[in-house]
Structure 1
Amino acid sequence: MQLIVLQLVSSLAFGMLLFLLSAGFSLIFGVAKVANLAHGALYVLGAYLGYSVVQAGGPFWLGVVVATLGGAVLGVLADRLLLSRIQGQNLKQVLLTLGLTFVLSDAIRHIWGADTKSVSPPAPFDGPATVGGLIFPSYPLMLIVLGGAVFVAMRFVLRRTQAGAMIRAVTADPLMSGTLGLPVLRVSLLTFAAGIGLAAFGGAVGSPQLALTPTLDSTMTLFALIVVVIGGLGSIEGAFIAALLVGLVNGFGAVYFPAVAQMAVFALMILVIALRPQGLLGRRLGNA
């Protein structure tokens, strides 16, 4: 029972990291209509920025703030300097973000090297915690709570605030939103920055949970795509549920069926596509 519960906590923590990654991806696609294949690389960049702050003697949470702000700034620069020049050209945007992935990966390898690096959990989450007589590592529990808090905050902003109403309007019909006077380009830019910042935030807070390597970007991008396909494009709730499902399937599969663990994740995606092509909580194309 102890091992099962420990694996459950670890799998849910990984699922929360996938949510932080895929929520930003889904948000960007929903508003800016950009399939950002550099999302995994930006997640890894955020992790390395946080690592650098810790190595320089700064507190862990300062590294998280630096990584989040750095990711948001990079998102603004990428949108204004690169993606805005080919707006509406989906294939070129996909190829550009794919090229950006290679650039960021090589830059990370050049600056931080190719060796595996690790970050220690911050106090007071660097020791064990006892819950119901069972002993757990504290940091995965904190990640579960943090991911849940981010989900609640995102849902509140999108459903209960004026900014969220503008984002939903631009997502549903950017042309009509512009006609009604909404600043479509500004909403798109800020959403892009927020989505990238969320990915960098996930990388920074996930660095004590996942070892840092420059090749982690391809793995995280693949997981983000799987989560978004399962949950449904543009759905934060779908991304949350799908991230937890993928985390559980991947975590328990790696322990009990290591030979087919990755196959199980893809099988889950194929099953969802077969039953609901639009994803768990996505909308069918053409529906309002």
Structure 2
Amino acid sequence: MTDAGFWILQFLNALQYSMLLFLLSIGLTVIFGLLHFINLAHGALYMLGAYVGVSIAAATGSYWAAFLLAPLAVMAIGAVLYFTLIDRLRQAGPMNQVLVTFGLIFVFLDAVRIGWGDIALGLDAPKMFQGASHIFGVDYPTYRLFIIALGLVVMGVLMVILNRTQIGAMIRAGVENEHMAAAMGINVGRLFFLVFCVGCALAGLAGVVAAPVFSATTGMGISILIPTLIVVVIGGLGSLQGAVVGALIVGFLETLGAAVLPGFAAISVYLLLAAILVLRPQGLIPARG
């Protein structure tokens, strides 16, 4: 406990986990905030990204081909889902949305079992990121540092897009007041579709990036879904800053809690969630004024 290297390792592990949660939660929170749609199948798209990435890497022999193509494949699946189910269910109410997307989890789960089997599949990290790097006096896997850097880059790009571009202004207007945005001439339907597809692509990206660390397993989508939903609730619906803060809080609380108080870590995040729902149900940094 008094070893500085131990704390540095735990800090880096927590940051790496937080970046994965951010890649998943940012798409989910904007979909929640903009479409008012509860997509419980978001974790299944993360799982598909991992398995599709493994297959692409095996077929091409290149991790980078999987890195580029797996998110596009998941985005294409998300586009089909949008036109066949999501758009039709937007006005159906939250209970119907929950039931249908919860059912989609098992549809995707069985589809993966049929296509790839119910076994863990590994994906090799690219050669340039294999091995360990010496940082802050400790040796840390270089690929995990790549995940941290990727999360920070995606975070920066999204902040620029949402805060400095016209399409970002339209997304923020749609989150704040969908009907007023439509009255101002914004094609809300096209905007919804674009945001949903980008959210699916980010889920696929998180899946293929996570595969070399955690392997591709059929249970990975369900296991990551609950922490991602907690991030969204803590941060605030539709808020990029909220997704960042929520991912960091959950990532550090789970990682450091498991290292310091393993018996308490399992319930600490849920206690925090309960406190947020009671004291600030709109989240720490809500998108709506």
Shorter-normalised TM range:
over 0.9
Determine if the alignment matches structure 1 residue 48 to structure 2 residue 51: yes
Query: Do the aligned partners of 1:231 and 1:282 also contact (CA within 8 Å) in 2?
Result: yes
Offset of residue 234 of structure 1:
0.8
Cα RMSD (Å): 1.5
Q: Give the C-alpha shift of residue 261 in structure 1.
A: 2.0
* 163-172 or 21-30, which deviates more: 163-172
Residues 114-123 or 4-13, more deviating: 114-123
Residue 172 (structure 1) aligned with residue 176 (structure 2): yes
1:96 corresponds to which of 81, 96, 100: 100
Distance between the aligned counterparts of 1:40 and 1:274, measured in 2?
A: 26
1:259-274 equivalences under 5 Å are: 259-274=263-278
- Of 152, 162, 166, the residue aligned with 1:162 is 166
Letter of the structure 2 residue corresponding to residue 125 of structure 1: F
Distance 1:241 1:142 in 2: 20
Task: Give 1:234's match in structure 2, choosing from 238, 241, 246.
Answer: 238
1:247 aligns with 2:251: yes
Instruction: Please identify runs of 4+ aligned residues in structure 1 that moved more than 3 A.
Output: none
Equivalent residue for 1:37, pick from 30, 40, 45: 40
Matched, 1:281 2:285: yes
Aligned residues: 285
In 2, distance between residues paired with 1:206 and 1:40?
A: 13
Distance 2:24 2:109 in 1: 17
Decide which moves more: 79-88 or 20-29. Answer: 79-88
For residue 222 of structure 1, report the CA deviation from its aligned partner: 0.7
Partner of 1:148: 152
Identical aligned pairs, as a percentage?
39
Query: Does the CA-based 8 Å contact 1:76-1:190 persist in structure 2?
Result: no
Of 186, 191, 196, the residue aligned with 1:192 is 196
Q: Do residues 22 (structure 1) and 50 (structure 2) align?
A: no
Q: How far apart are 1:258 and its partner, in Å?
A: 2.5
1:212 aligns with 2:220: no
**Aligned match of 1:60 in 59, 63, 74?**
63
Counterpart of 1:105, as a letter, is: L
CA distance in 1, matches of 2:206, 2:92: 29
TM-score, with structure 2 as normaliser: 0.94
After superposition, what is the alpha-carbon deviation per residue over 1:58-103, rounded to whole angstroms, capped at 9, x for unaligned? 3112102111101111111111111222331122222211111110
Gaps of 5+ in 1: none
Matched residue type, 1:123: K
| Residue identity matched to 2:71 | T
Write the letter of the residue equivalent to 1:32: L
Match status 1:225 vs 2:229:
yes
Deviates more, 1:239-248 or 1:90-99: 90-99
Does the Cα contact within 8 Å between 1:47 and 1:204 map onto a contact in 2? yes
Could you tell me which amino acid in structure 2 is paired with residue 111 of structure 1?
G
Q: Note if contact 2:35-2:90 (Cα within 8 Å) is conserved in structure 1.
A: no
Compute the displacement of 1:259 (Å): 2.7
Deviation at 1:274, TM superposition (A): 3.2
Equivalent AA in structure 1 for residue 44 of structure 2? A
**TM-score (normalised: structure 1):** 0.94
In structure 2, which of residues 89, 105, 129 is the aligned counterpart of residue 86 of structure 1?
Answer: 89
The answer for unaligned runs of 5 or more in structure 2 is none
Asked if 2 retains the 8 angstrom alpha-carbon contact of 1:109 and 1:214, the reply is yes
The correspondence for 1:203, drawn from 204, 207, 211, is 207
Contact 2:235 2:246 (C-alpha < 8 Å) held by counterparts? yes
